[in-house]
Each structure stands twice: as C-alpha cells, then as structure tokens.
Amino acid sequence: PAWFTRPEVAEILAETYPPRHRQGVCIWFTGLSGAGKSTTAEVLTVLLMEQGRQVTVLDGDVVRTHLSKGLGFSKEDRDANIRRIGYVAAEIVRHGGLVMCAAVSPYRTTRNDVRNMVGKDHFVEVFVNTPLEECEVRDVKGMYAKARRGEIKGFTGIDDPYEEPLHAEITLDTMTNGPEENARLILGYLTRHGFVRTPGN
C-alpha cells in the first residue's frame, strides 16, 4: 500500500520483480521423433501470440543445421546439442521472453541439467507421449524405416533409448487429443501459473 511503501521504492520493486506474465518461461517439448512436438508448438505459438505474448521457437532439427552444425548423433553430440539449445533458452528466459524448445532430448540427466540452467520455476517440461508404433506410422521422412534397416545407427526408440520423464509438468496424449486440444491444455497450465494473463486482466 502507498502509506507503507514510498512511490520511488514501489517503482524500483516493480522493475525488480515484474509480474509473472512478464517473466520468462521455457516450455520444453520432449518425445520421440514424430511424436508431435513441433506441430503442438506451432499451434501453441499462435494461441500465445493471440494472448499478447511474444514467442521464440527453438526446433531441434532447425538448431542442428545452424547452432549445432557438425554434431553427429552420438550420446555426447546429442547432449551437446541439447545443452546449446538450453543455453539459448536460458538467456531468452533471463530477459523475460517465452521460449518453446521442441527436441527429442532423450536423456533425463541432460533434460534436468537444462531445467537447472533455465531455473526450475521457469521451466515447463511437456512430455509428448506418442507410442513408438504411431511415430513410425507418422514418419514421413522414412527415418524409422532406415533405422530398422540398419542404415541409421543410434536412432532414438530403435537402437538408442528414450528415457521418459518421471516428473513432467504436463503429459500430452496425442492418440486421444489433437494438436489444438493439447496446445490449449498447455495454455491453460501457463494461465493458471500466471505466465499468461487471463482475458480481461
């Protein structure tokens, strides 16, 4: 209240502690290749922009062609790729931005490292839980087929493990819900936790 806090102090506090909807947050989509991570992120981007939030999307495949060019698919290279995405995401969050990262990110330890890098209170892990069989059906690039034939080594879900999240903030069922319904579930979570303003506020 004004009688308790001098205006100049209140102004400093307001700048130091912005309201939740002006703070940064990282939405980290993880799941098998073809699970629907990027598709859901694209739909959510539109919904968030309609709510007045600016959004940055870091897609694992796109990042590989630029920031992580030259990295292969060994565990070490995958970890390096995810940590690079995590570093960029952490910087965006630190400056109050909303960033969505869509990457297979198969290893729990690496995902937890990124969570700590970003800050636990500003990290939302979204497990896009699509069965391997369905991912293979959706595989327009034929990557799973190549992995099954042995043409690609170390492919997640075939001859390299995917470690499911144990404590994801959100788990999406893509067999029951479509991308828009799942995107709205995430939007609801962000709204409840104050990262997105409710209409009229």
* pLDDT tens-digit series, residues 22-49: 789 999 999 999 999 999 999 999 999 9
Residues 89 and 99 sit within 8 Å (Cβ to Cβ): yes
CA distance 102 to 105: 9
Is position 74 annotated as part of the catalytic site? no
Q: What is the pLDDT of residue 3?
A: 46
Name the CATH code of domain 24-192 (choices 3.40.50.12780, 3.90.650.10, 3.40.50.11710, 3.40.50.300): 3.40.50.300
Looking at residue 141, what is its pLDDT?
85
- By CB atoms closer than 10 A (0-12, 13-18, 19+), residue 90 is buried
pLDDT in tens, 64-76: 776 666 677 778 8
pLDDT value of position 34: 94
Average pLDDT over residues 141-159: 91
Candidates 29, 60, 8, 55; CA nearest to 171 is 29
For residue 8, is pLDDT > 60?
A: yes
Ordered by start, the domain boundaries in the chain are 24-192
What are 104-149's pLDDT values in tens digits? 999 999 999 999 999 999 999 999 999 999 999 999 889 999 999 9
Residue found under tokens 């979204």: 126
pTM score, whole prediction:
0.87
Rounded Cα distance between 33 and 139, Å, is 8
What confidence score (pLDDT) does residue 154 get? 87
